[in-house]
Amino acid sequence: MARRSTVQQDPRIAGDPELSAYTEEFDDPERAPARGRTPRRGRWSGGGGRWLVWTGRVILWALIVVIVVNGVRAPFERFTQQGAAEGTASTPTDQGFPVTEATSFASQFAAVYLNFDAVRASERAGRLAPFLPDGAEPQFGWDGLGRMSAGAIQPYDTRVVDGSNAVVTLMYQSGNRRQLLSVPVFYDPQTGRFVVSGRPGILPAPSAANLPVLPTPERDDAVERELRTPMANFFKAYAASDTASLQQYAASGVTLEGFGGAFTFVELKDLVVPLVSGATREVTATVVWGVPTGAAPSAEPTPGDPGDMSGKLEQSYVLTVVEQDGKWFVKEIRGAERSAG
């Protein structure tokens, strides 16, 4: 009697048509698969994809950790940066030292200290006393001989040492020299008072800068000839504040004021009009003014003959002129910039 397959006896197989068909292939010799051949399966168990699941979980947790770390770090960094910025702003460079007041104090001191004469030594000592500490020499280093005069005292620099000490440097003119005076100053924050805390030091002032040479601009000779007479008449009216004449040369809507007789027009020495197109030009004028002796001149001077003027003064101006109906009018006048050449 033929032996019945035990596989068919499993009720789970009997209830599954696909598994029943599969087992029947093995029971039937003619339908059995060839040796070494993998039988066809009806469904995939899914066990081979477990590594993808775990890899995805690792990536997901890594992203979560990165997001959490960045979320905590960003506010902390903003807080620390803001604290550092506030700490920097709350510390002024002058360390609480009153620079403006100290500069005024040192400037007054320098006006006394830099001017002395043997015949007025006692006067100088009395004027120095309010600036000096108790017990200081009345002349503060001067032996009472010789003489010196200085003027044009201006602030140059202040080096703050701490909240109570600084070195104020002033620039002054003595004869034909520009020099510096370095003054150590002490400030008492409780009383708000200053005192010169040490010997001043005279230093040479920096020399003038080397001015580079500019190329000479190309000039519009035709417009220069056209403008020379109107510009001369304009400066003549400008010197005298001749309102009626000034308005003849002023552009529409522009009001110009003059010197009111403080100077007298002598001549228009030079007029430079750049070679550019357009109805608006920037022209440079060099004017010679007559400097009065104190009283208004009785007669209008002529070029080369300033009459009762005691001297002449050359100055340069930049004028913005506009062409309207074939004539040139002044829109603006201001001091000239650096000269070319």
pLDDT at 127 over 60: yes
Residue 88 has pLDDT above 50, yes or no: no
The domain containing residue 291 runs over which residues?
Answer: 221-335
The answer to whether residues 251 and 315 belong to one domain is yes
| Of 181-190, 318-327, 331-340, minimum mean pLDDT range | 331-340
Residue 178 shares a structural domain with residue 254:
no
Q: Do 172 and 227 fall within a single domain?
A: no
Residues 177, 110 within the same domain: yes
User: Do 227 and 196 share a structural domain?
Assistant: no
| 190 and 225 housed in the same domain | no
Helices (H) and strands (E) in the chain, counts: 7, 11
Determine, yes or no, domain membership for 195: yes
User: From CA 283, how far away is CA 46, in angstroms rounded?
Assistant: 92
Does residue 267 form part of some domain? yes
Per-residue pLDDT tens digits for 296-324: 444 455 544 545 547 999 999 999 999 98
- Among residues 145, 173, 204, which one ends one of the domains? 204
Last residue of a domain, one of 204, 237, 272: 204
Q: Judge if 237 and 331 occupy the same domain.
A: yes
Classify residue 87 as exposed, middle or buried by CB count within 10 Å of its CB (0-12, 13-18, 19+): exposed
List the CATH number of the domain containing 188. 3.10.450.540
Total domain count, the chain:
2
Pair (185, 228) in one structural domain:
no
Mean of pLDDT over the chain = 81
CA quadruple 325, 330, 332, 336: dihedral sign: positive
Instruction: Say whether both 276 and 328 belong to one domain.
Output: yes
Which of 204, 239, 265 represents a domain boundary (last residue)? 204
Burial degree of 77 (CB within 10 A; 0-12, 13-18, 19+): exposed
170 and 225 inside one domain: no
pLDDT tens across 223-274, in order?
999 999 999 999 999 999 988 888 889 898 898 889 988 999 999 999 999 9
Confidence of residue 91 (pLDDT cuts 50, 70, 90): very low
Between these two residues, 206 and 308, which has the higher pLDDT value? 206
Mean pLDDT of 93-115: 93
Domain assignment present for 50: no
Q: Are residues 289 and 238 in the same domain?
A: yes
Helices (H), the chain: 11-14, 17-27, 50-89, 99-113, 121-128, 221-240, 243-249
- Long-range (24+ apart) CB contacts under 8 A made by 154-160 are 154/107, 155/103, 155/107, 156/180, 158/99, 158/102, 158/103, 160/93, 160/94, 160/95, 160/97, 160/99
Q: Which residues contact 85 (CB under 8 A, 6 or more apart)?
A: none
Residue 273 lies in a domain: yes
Hey, what amino acid is at 317?
Y
262 and 330: one domain?
Answer: yes
pLDDT band at 149 (very low <50, low <70, confident <90, very high): very high
